[in-house]
Amino acid sequence: MKRGIFIIALLFSVQMFSQAIYEDERYVPETDPAVLKNLEVWQGKKFGLLMHWGTYSQWGIVESWSICPEDYGWCERKKGSNPASYNQYVSDYEGLKKTFNPTKFDPVKWAKAAKAAGMKYMVFTTKHHDGFNMYDTKYSDYKVTDKDCPFSTNPKADILKEVFTAFRNENISTGAYFSKPDWHNENYWDPYFPPFDRNVNYDPSLYPEKWQKYVDFTHNQILEILTNYGKVDILWLDGGWVRKRDQQNLKENYDEKFAENESKNGFIKHRVVDQDPKMDELVVKARQKQPGLIVVDRAVHGKNQNYLTPEGRVPAKTLPYPWESCITSGGGWSYSPDAKYMTGRQGIHMLIDIVAKGGNLLLNVAPSPEGEWQQGAYDLLQAYADWMKVNNTAIYETKPIEPFKEDNICFTQNKTGNVFAFYLAKDGEDKIPAEVTVKSISPKKGTKITMLGSKTSLKWTKEGNGFKVVIPESLRNNLPAKEAWTLKIEAINR
């Protein structure tokens, strides 16, 4: 029990610390006019889909991290030969390539469910840290189309191609997740040296030719995706520790590690290494292939992080730059056979909260080893679909308006000046109250207030700096949506 309480407290403190860092993080605005235009369009989309999928789904474990020799809970090696040495475990893990055969893979079904839910863009894992490629790369044989992978004979073997095609056919923008570290590549984890942690396992400054080979490999793979797979809207790069660092940054990072008492004995779970992937050069080449490409070099401060991506959390307030919360819908990022999905109410309220703060929601769904989504994912997306069918105009192409949220009421504003007040159902509520009071928004005299999904003009009266609106019983007994109801205020006093 004590251990459980400690873990909960620790996670809470880490989350608060991470959010504090995130909200104070500097942002370098983009200057490319084509990128700025696409970034504005992306901000109006509000809702996207992320998918983590790879051979690891067969074991129902966290993606990639179990082959990382770090001492964290997510790196635990619970599968494979038992008992397993580290090297045996990695061999067993990489052997999953020979059994990966998702014969029920149906991206058309996924795309239709995502479109119905109101998702406007998607990001798919082309390659995670373990180095397994979910597309037909010519730079590695550790891929789904290799002859040793049973799925390679399937007509849908080039999974990335099938996914991108299915989602583009539903007019959903495409994004390529790509891991900068590749733990399978001999020029990142050189077999001559043991891997120490998540980082490159040799000093790039001592072996510059080897490191350059890895940089070339990384650039070639990314450019391959941007050349062979049609229009790509977002390049979503993970593995923020693969970055150029200077002496000051190295010192600051190590000072932080010891200040946080990572280990009283001096043991550090992972190092901080200067490992420059030459991202500036890559982005220039990438945009020659895909003009206006949005690049998200996650967690790397600088001009190549076109928007920020708080992971697994929602910021406490609006942020003065483009951002997107990436959140799991159920289980972890990767497939879990016993995943419990968030309820429709939780999902809808989260979307509203994020949009009211000016962000986007990127919701992760993890396919199974057979290539299916779990029913819980479809149920959640159906709840979104039912709600968005009525309320989507208050979500898309909107911006925050102060105070963003008042108790359980969130606000957005569209380009024509209409304000939307979302009443989020409280615990135990299945309908909106007969009277709703808003203290911080003042409608113009004589303005019209309606509920989205209803043509009934609602009676309202001014109260202080706000107003009170009456919801007739006939509407309360026949509400157009569940979980949250949207009041449209046509004009407000400024």
Taking only the tens place, the pLDDT of each residue in 367-384 is 999 999 999 999 999 999
Q: Where are the alpha helices (DSSP H) in 118-190?
A: 159-168
pLDDT at position 80 is 81
Task: Kindly give, in sequence order, each residue whose CB lies less than 8 Å from that of residue 487, ignoring residues fewer than 6 positions away.
Answer: 420, 421, 422, 423, 436, 449, 450, 451, 452, 458, 469
How do residues 184-243 score in pLDDT, each as one tens digit?
999 999 999 999 999 999 999 999 999 999 999 999 999 999 999 999 999 999 999 999
3-state SS assignment for residue 230: coil
On the 0-12 / 13-18 / 19+ scale of CB atoms within 10 A, 109 is middle
Q: What mean pLDDT, rounded, does the chain reach?
A: 93
Fold of the CATH domain 399-489 = Immunoglobulin-like (2.60.40)
DSSP state of 262: S
Query: What phi and psi, each to the nearest 5 degrees, are found at residue 213?
Result: -60, -40
Q: In this model, does residue 8 exceed pLDDT 50?
A: no
User: What confidence score (pLDDT) does residue 263 get?
Assistant: 67
pLDDT score recorded for residue 1: 40
Model confidence at 70: pLDDT above 50: yes
Q: Which of 243, 302, 308, 301 is nearest to 272 (CA)?
A: 243
The model's confidence at residue 266, banded by pLDDT at 50, 70 and 90, is confident
Integer-rounded Cα Rg, in Å, for the chain is 24
pLDDT digits (tens, 9 = 90+) for 443-487: 999 999 999 999 999 999 999 999 999 999 999 999 999 999 999
Side chain identity, residue 218: T
Please give the share of the chain, as a percent, with pLDDT higher than 90: 89
Biggest CA pair distance of the chain:
77
Which CATH topology does 30-242+277-396 take?
TIM Barrel (3.20.20)
Q: Where are the domains of the chain?
A: 30-242+277-396, 399-489
Query: With helix as H, strand as E and coil as C, how does 240-260 read?
Result: CCCCCCCHHHHHHHHHHHHHC
* pLDDT at residue 23, rounded to an integer: 47
Q: Which residue bears the tokens 């400054």? A: 205
What's the pLDDT tens digit per position in 308-363?
999 999 999 999 999 999 999 999 999 999 999 999 999 999 999 999 999 999 99
**The whole model's pTM is what?**
0.94
What pLDDT score does 11 carry?
A: 36
**Domains 30-242+277-396 and 399-489 equal at CATH topology level:** no
DSSP 133: B
- pLDDT 10s digits, 141-181: 999 999 999 999 999 999 999 999 999 999 999 999 999 99
3-class state of residue 39 by DSSP: helix
Phi, psi of 387 (to 5 degrees): -75, -45
